Amino acid sequence: MIRVAVAGAAGRMGQAVVAAVQGAEDMQLTGRADPALDTALADVLGDADVVVDFTRPDTALANALACLEAGVHVVIGTTGFDVEPLRQARGANVFVAPNFAISAVLMMRFAAEASRHMAKAEIVELHHDGKLDAPSGTAARTAQLMAGEVPIHSVRLPGLVAHQEVILGDVGQSLTIRQDSYARESFMPGVLLAVRRVGELEESPLIGLEHLLF
């Protein structure tokens, strides 16, 4: 059994992760850390093999460093923070994914390929209006994987979950690649895969679900 604690357990994503871990036969939920639950991350580290972090951009790095110091592997879904300091950190493994949905990973892959054959591209990313960071981690990662400069436009509206269009243009033609996460369950198979694999990574931090899928 993998003992899993969730940081940000009271949040939109954290609640979905708690349910997914409870539904996984090879995992045991050992802790739920969140200021909203009056439980600090430090209180749950002693009982965990892996922490899954879906918190805020301003706390994800400190949380990850606390996990590593305690020798606990960490799977990070939080976006909009600088991962560079984690390259120096040791103690346990770190896996980071800006997007845990398989359709989003495929969208990034197809966009990267298409950008090598089309003249220009722009990204429109659309998210719910509770999202703190802009541009989204997925859009930033997509642009990083694509050839050339790729401008990003951010839309924040109630009712949306997580959506992205990559629009590529060339003489007399265009190509649109669109990905939609309609529900937070879309991220859960990727999160559980990362929890199962984070302990055996050969490289840390490892960034991107594609490294576990392909």
Binding site for ligand NAD (CB under 6 A): 7-8, 10-14, 33-36, 41, 54-57, 59, 63, 77-80, 97-100, 131, 133, 162, 187
Q: How many Å apart are CA 180 and CA 126, to the nearest integer?
A: 9
For residue 78, which phi and psi values (nearest 5 degrees)?
A: -60, 140
Between strands 162-170 and 152-156, the pairing is unpaired
Closest approach of ligand NAD to the CB of residue 96, in Å: 8
The catalytically annotated residue of 131, 153, 163, 211 is 131
Tell me whether residue 11 or residue 205 sits nearer to ligand NAD (CB atom): 11
Closest approach of ligand NAD to the CB of residue 184, in Å: 7
Tell me whether residue 108 or residue 118 sits nearer to ligand NAD (CB atom): 108
Task: Please list, in sequence order, all residues whose beta carbon lies within 8 angstroms of the beta carbon of residue 123, skipping any fewer than 6 positions away.
Answer: 135, 139, 142, 143, 150, 151, 152, 153, 164, 165, 166, 167
Answer yes or no: 131 catalytic.
Answer: yes
Tell me whether residue 42 or residue 119 sits nearer to ligand NAD (CB atom): 42
Task: Please list, in sequence order, all residues whose beta carbon lies within 8 angstroms of the beta carbon of residue 170, skipping any fewer than 6 positions away.
Answer: 118, 119, 120
**Collapsing DSSP states into helix, strand and coil, what is residue 83?**
coil
Closest approach of ligand NAD to the CB of residue 186, in Å: 8
> Could you give the residue numbers annotated as active site?
127, 131
